Amino acid sequence: MQVSTRAAQFEATVESRESVSDHLVRLVLGGLDEWPSTGVPDEWVAIVVPGQFQSRYYTVRDFRDGRLTLDVVVHDQGLVTEWAMRDCVGDMVAVSEPKASFDPPPDAEWLMLVGDLTAMPAISRIVESHPHLPVRVWAEVPDDLTGYLPDGAEVTWLAPPAAGQSALAAVVEGIEWPEGPGYFWMAGESAQMRAIRKHLMRVVGMASSHYDVMGYWRATAGRQPRAVDPGPIWRAGKAAGKSDDEIWAAYDAAREVGDG
């Protein structure tokens, strides 16, 4: 049910909760018949869980018959993580309209996808929706996710260096890029993503239309990142004609701890 036309918020009920692996919980939210999917495979929503007013962002793993599937990483502490660890079936959740970023150029002959556990729902959907392109995946995950990614991609599984940490920047620095035009999509810990953007720009020399690198969460060693609503940054960036990548860089900068 759409609860506000201006803010385009929808009200959903948690219909089921199941454990996918040690650190991944699948929630199915129902009652979303009017929710407008973009159909873009990395689309995401902001959700607000009971007792909270701040939102958090989750990728739409699946949407059909008015039901939205989210795969939620459960880590040490956090608004949504602590809620999702409990039995939340029957809880009401506010869900935003979707936004999306995945936008390969029409001449892309290959896809390279890199991400940590938070990126696995998007990577699954991207692989599913591109059966005719060669797809290479690097997945940095703490759990055994055998069977989680659809068939059709060549996958390299990597372990994170430690709980709550990521070393994906070094992985990307070691990639041998295929010949011809393609598209590189990546999401994960924000500091890693910043390093990767620099590498792509300065070392690989890739055109920004051929990659999308998104900071999904910030490793803050116990400190909270600044809560920044990406909505205004997104709208202002689009209005100014900025690329998705420039907008994501501005979002990362706005969330810098201790800044402003």
Ligand X SMILES: Cc1cc2nc3c(=O)[nH]c(=O)nc-3n(C[C@H](O)[C@H](O)[C@H](O)COP(=O)(O)OP(=O)(O)OC[C@H]3O[C@@H](n4cnc5c(N)ncnc54)[C@H](O)[C@@H]3O)c2cc1C
Q: Given the rule CB under 6 A, which residues bind ligand X?
A: 44, 56-59, 71-73, 75, 77-81, 118, 121, 164, 216-220, 224-225
**Smallest distance from the beta carbon of 198 to ligand X, in angstroms?**
20
153 or 187: CB nearest ligand X: 187
**Smallest distance from the beta carbon of 45 to ligand X, in angstroms?**
9
110 or 113: CB nearest ligand X: 113
32 or 72: CB nearest ligand X: 72
Using a 10 angstrom Cβ sphere, with 0-12 exposed, 13-18 middle and 19 or more buried, the burial of residue 245 is: buried
45 or 110: CB nearest ligand X: 45
Q: Please tell me whether residue 203 adopts helix, strand or coil conformation.
A: helix
**Smallest distance from the beta carbon of 144 to ligand X, in angstroms?**
17
**Smallest distance from the beta carbon of 241 to ligand X, in angstroms?**
21
**Smallest distance from the beta carbon of 224 to ligand X, in angstroms?**
6
2 or 52: CB nearest ligand X: 52
CB burial of 39-67 (b: ≥16 within 10 Å; e: otherwise) equals: ebbbbbbbbbbeeeeebbbbbbbbbeeeb
**Smallest distance from the beta carbon of 202 to ligand X, in angstroms?**
25
Using a 10 angstrom Cβ sphere, with 0-12 exposed, 13-18 middle and 19 or more buried, the burial of residue 146 is: exposed
**Smallest distance from the beta carbon of 35 to ligand X, in angstroms?**
16
- Residue in the shown chain whose Cβ atom is closest to ligand X: 78
Cα angle value 127/124/68 (rounded, 5°): 125
Structural contact between residues 32 and 47, judged by C-beta atoms closer than 8 angstroms: no
d(CA 120, CA 195): 20
φ, ψ of residue 78 in degrees (nearest 5): 160, 160
121 or 182: CB nearest ligand X: 121
- DSSP E strand boundaries for the chain: 2-4, 9-21, 24-30, 44-48, 56-59, 62-64, 67-73, 92-96, 111-116, 135-140, 153-158, 183-189, 211-217
